[in-house]
Amino acid sequence: MSNRKLYIAGGGWSWLFQRLSGVYILAIIIIHFWFIHYAGNGELTYQNIATRLATPFWKTLDVSFLVLALYHGLNGMWAITQDWIKRDGWRMLIYAVIVVVALVFGVLGLITVISFKPEIL
């Protein structure tokens, strides 16, 4: 038996997390779609959504979906940037834009999901 160690370098972790986040996102989309369209009473109303979002399970699921979807999408954009943009200055500019977009959408999404109060309206 070989005593090799698993060593992931040169973007290997990024590659692995990209695949794992993609599988998780697919599972969450299927669960979300099933609950929205089949498990409920068929109506997509504010009250039904508010009732679902009032539970910690759904908030946790939505926050994990938000974080992993942002990671998956923006990591993909960064991978494309590394493949196509050769100049370091442009790469760093695009990386800075990706970080700002991640922070803005991450904070806005977290505020929306975590602070949601079903009794409003």
Fill in the DSSP letter of residue 37.
I
Domain that holds residue 62: 12-114
What is the number of domains present in the chain?
1
Scanning the structure block, which residue is given the tokens 């926050």? 63
Spatial distance between the Cα atoms of 80 and 57, rounded to a whole number of angstroms: 34
Judge whether 3 lies within some domain: no
User: CA angle, corner 111, sides to 94 and 60, nearest 5?
Assistant: 100
- The answer to whether 52 and 62 are in contact (CB under 8 A) is no
Half-sphere exposure in the Cβ direction for 116 (13 Å, CA)? 22
Judge whether 72 lies within some domain: yes
Name the pTM for this structure: 0.79
Judge whether 37 lies within some domain: yes
Judge whether 54 lies within some domain: yes
Judge whether 29 lies within some domain: yes
Q: pLDDT tens, 11-65?
A: 788 889 999 999 999 999 998 888 887 876 667 788 888 888 888 998 999 999 9
Judge whether 121 lies within some domain: no
Domain with residue 77: its CATH number is 1.20.1300.10
